[in-house]
Amino acid sequence: MILDIFFPNRCIHCNRIIDGDLLVCNVCFEQIHFTHFNFFENNYILEKCKLLFPIENAFALMQFEKENLSRKIIHELKYKSREKVGKILAEWTTERLDFKNEKPDLLVSVPLHPKKLKERGYNQLHLFTEILSKFYEIPFSHDLIKRNYYSKAQALKNRQHRLEIENTFSITKNISGKNILLIDDVFTTGNTLSSIAWEILKTGNNKVNILVMAMDE
């Protein structure tokens, strides 16, 4: 296509020209710090979550270290209008996450406040969740959780502000007896996921698992 000639797709890290459906070149791909966690075994994010709420299993795709390529990837997805990055991250996830014969019943994405959704134009988790849903043949819900208050981006908050999230979320419908996989982009303090997890847990005999694109130690 003409656009590909004049505006070729480039690696977000080294600026090398790459195929249109890629995000980084092969050389830079090797610099991404994948966690290699096993969903059903003890791992760092599972231990962090256990301190906050009852949890079954947890998985993080990448490490979210300072100056790390994974941080640049997430920022491309969230702040640079590149929603399709979610598809690439989902594909990387399916190559590394095996549910075996114990698949969750439902995939649930962390919501944006309607005002934030309008500002960004998309929820960075929706395409990611939908690709996973299709691959694993697990239904998903983007509206089970409601965000009650508008807030600044996590990257712009100080630590104290991040802790002020009580009653931020609510459940839109009654669910019971479900094994839910709660999906978010980055695990930092874990307070956002904890707030949602408790809402899910108190609605019925539900179980909560966690999947994040990246985790910040």
Domain boundaries, the chain: 1-31, 32-215
Pairing of the two strands 58-63 and 169-171: unpaired
Q: How confident is the model at residue 109 (pLDDT cuts 50, 70, 90)?
A: very high
Distance, in Å, from the CA atom of 61 to the CA atom of 65, rounded to the nearest integer, reads 13
Q: If you count them, how many residues does the chain have?
A: 217
Q: Is the pLDDT of residue 6 over 80?
A: no
pLDDT of the residue at 204: 87
Q: How confident is the model at residue 153 (pLDDT cuts 50, 70, 90)?
A: low
- For residue 123, the one-letter residue type is N
Question: Looking at the DSSP assignment, which residues form a beta bridge with residue 10?
Answer: 17
Instruction: Among 9-18, 62-71, 73-82, 84-93, name the one with the lowest average pLDDT.
Output: 62-71
Comparing CA positions, the residue from 79, 33, 14 lying closest to residue 214 is 33
pLDDT of the residue at 116: 92
The CATH architecture annotation of domain 32-215 reads 3-Layer(aba) Sandwich (3.40)
Question: Looking at the DSSP assignment, which residues form a beta bridge with residue 186?
Answer: 214
Region 134-158 average pLDDT: 82
Q: How confident is the model at residue 156 (pLDDT cuts 50, 70, 90)?
A: very low
pLDDT of the residue at 66: 79
Distance of CA 141 to the CA centre of its chain: 14
Comparing CA positions, the residue from 145, 122, 137, 155 lying closest to residue 193 is 145
Element (H, E) at 50: helix 44-50
